């Protein structure tokens, strides 16, 4: 009987690093959201990224929420957000009563289109912040986007939830904006079961974020609060899993890239392509995503049905935010006459990219797709 092939699931180290750190936390009774594992995970990721001040949190969404607060986003403000992404990239904007303006994709990377971003400034003026996403791990055009934000004097928030290990011009994603967002959800390249991290360029921002993440308690003998805070810190137990995962992060990145390359080789003769990336970038290939050629005679639904029939998990691309019912009245900016994000959504399929896959597993996925043509 063939085994189920999932999209992406947790992959614990063969060496058992995660259990060592978790057991140590139990032995020392460091169960609460502080302790050696939290500090160790923050230090390990700061070293891996090569820059930035890290704050371990309960979710990537929490990190984005805090980054918006630290950027001064308030009710009524505009925030320019990437359109083709998961809802967590935009929802924290609405938590604060601010208004997201969704920016269309470009075809070179499927990420925020710098030309559409420029047009948004022309149409709506200066926002409080810009939130760019590295979709499925593929780096956005950070040179152009950073230049626009610097010229306009606008805070750049970099959602690298899917891009831990990706690089733009040899620099790790998550370190370009004033704030970077990482996610350790169960389907990410490494996991803490659930959790995330805020990466700050300035130590003062990291210190303030840590305060806000611990209910904004002031340094008094009693509980005193002068601003609104949150219960956003990562537990020491979950951080122990993350410390173990951090030890095998380079291996996981290389495995993801190998899966992408095998898909590219096996599917090369078909009327489809994989998500592109610029020559000066290195994606972590968190998910390998195919795009069917227009007029190829096969639909994403047919691909997904064929995979499901062989007990293989696939998924459509993220539905663009401006097309979501909850954001039906939101502003949307594209550089041309048609939405690139809508076109990508209509023709794309996310393929299994689990780091426990074998070459034979990848070939099995490809065989199911080839049978449709």
Res 1 pLDDT > 80? no
Residue 52's pLDDT is: 84
8 Å CB contact between 249 and 83: no
What sign does the dihedral 211-213-218-222 (CA atoms) show? negative
Q: Report phi then psi at 214, rounded to 5.
A: -120, 45
Among 77, 71, 66, CA closest to 149? 71
Among 339, 321, 317, CA closest to 82? 321
How many angstroms separate the Cα of 222 from the Cα of each of 63, 112, 217, 233? 27, 46, 9, 20
In angstroms, the CA 324 to CA 104 distance is 14
User: What mean pLDDT comes out for the span 156-163?
Assistant: 98
Residue 368's pLDDT is: 98
In angstroms, the CA 331 to CA 353 distance is 33
Cα 192 from chain centroid? Answer: 15
The side-by-side arrangement of strands in the sheet containing 167-168 is 171-172, 167-168, 281-282
At 58-111, the pLDDT tens digits run 999 999 999 999 999 999 999 999 999 999 999 999 999 999 999 999 999 999
Question: What string of DSSP letters covers 298-341?
Answer: --HHHHHHHHHHTTB--EEPPPPGGGSGGGTTSEEE-SSSS-HH
Mean per-residue pLDDT over the chain, rounded: 97
What sign does the dihedral 351-357-362-365 (CA atoms) show? negative
pLDDT band at 34 (very low <50, low <70, confident <90, very high): confident
In angstroms, the CA 71 to CA 154 distance is 9
In angstroms, the CA 213 to CA 113 distance is 32
pLDDT band at 26 (very low <50, low <70, confident <90, very high): very high
* Contact residues for 265 (Cβ-Cβ < 8 A; gap 6+): none
The proportion of the chain whose per-residue pLDDT surpasses 90, expressed as a percent, equals 97
User: What mean pLDDT comes out for the span 187-201?
Assistant: 96
Res 285 pLDDT > 80? yes
User: What mean pLDDT comes out for the span 340-354?
Assistant: 98
* Contact residues for 52 (Cβ-Cβ < 8 A; gap 6+): 46, 174, 175, 180, 199, 200, 201
8 Å CB contact between 217 and 196: no
In angstroms, the CA 130 to CA 181 distance is 13
211: alpha, beta or left, given left = phi > 0 and alpha = psi -120 to 50? Answer: alpha
User: What mean pLDDT comes out for the span 300-310?
Assistant: 98
Question: What string of DSSP letters covers 22-82?
Answer: HHHHHHHT--SS-SHHHHHHHHHHHHHHSS-EEEEES-HHHHHHHHHHHTT--TT-EEEEE
The proportion of the chain whose per-residue pLDDT surpasses 70, expressed as a percent, equals 100
In angstroms, the CA 64 to CA 51 distance is 19
């Amino acid at each position: 009987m063939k085994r189920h092939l999932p999209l992406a699931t947790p992959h614990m180290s063969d060496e058992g690093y995660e259990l060592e750190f978790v057991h140590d936390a139990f032995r020392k009774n460091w169960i609460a959201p502080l302790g050696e594992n939290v500090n160790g995970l923050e230090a390990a990721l700061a070293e891996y990224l090569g820059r930035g001040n890290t704050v371990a949190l309960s979710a990537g969404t929490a990190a984005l929420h805090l980054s918006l607060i630290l950027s001064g986003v308030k009710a009524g403000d505009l925030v320019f957000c990437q359109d083709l992404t998961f809802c967590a990239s935009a929802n924290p904007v609405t938590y604060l009563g601010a208004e997201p303006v969704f920016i269309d994709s470009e075809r070179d990377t499927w990420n925020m289109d710098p030309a559409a971003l420029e047009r948004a400034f022309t149409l709506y003026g200066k926002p409080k912040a810009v939130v760019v996403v590295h979709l499925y791990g593929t780096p956005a055009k950070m040179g152009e986007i950073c230049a626009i934000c610097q010229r306009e004097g606008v805070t750049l928030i970099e959602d690298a939830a899917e891009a831990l290990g990706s690089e733009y011009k040899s620099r790790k994603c998550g370190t370009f904006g004033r704030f970077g967002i990482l996610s350790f959800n169960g389907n990410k390249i490494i996991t803490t079961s659930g959790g995330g991290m805020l990466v700050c360029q300035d130590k003062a921002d990291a210190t303030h974020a840590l305060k806000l993440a611990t209910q904004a308690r002031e340094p008094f003998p009693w509980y005193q609060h002068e601003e609104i805070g949150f219960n956003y810190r990562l537990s020491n137990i979950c951080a122990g899993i993350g410390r173990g995962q951090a030890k095998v992060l380079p291996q996981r990145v290389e495995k993801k890239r190998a899966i992408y390359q095998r898909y590219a080789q096996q599917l090369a003769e078909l009327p489809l392509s994989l998500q592109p990336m610029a020559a000066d970038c290195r994606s972590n290939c968190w998910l390998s995503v195919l795009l069917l050629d227009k007029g190829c005679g096969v639909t994403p639904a047919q691909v997904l049905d064929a995979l499901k029939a062989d007990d293989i998990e696939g998924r459509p691309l993220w539905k663009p935010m401006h097309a979501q019912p909850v954001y039906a009245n939101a502003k949307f900016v594209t550089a041309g006459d048609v939405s690139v994000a809508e076109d990508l959504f209509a023709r794309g399929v996310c393929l299994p990219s689990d780091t426990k896959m074998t070459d034979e597993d990848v070939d099995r996925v490809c065989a199911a797709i080839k049978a449709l043509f």
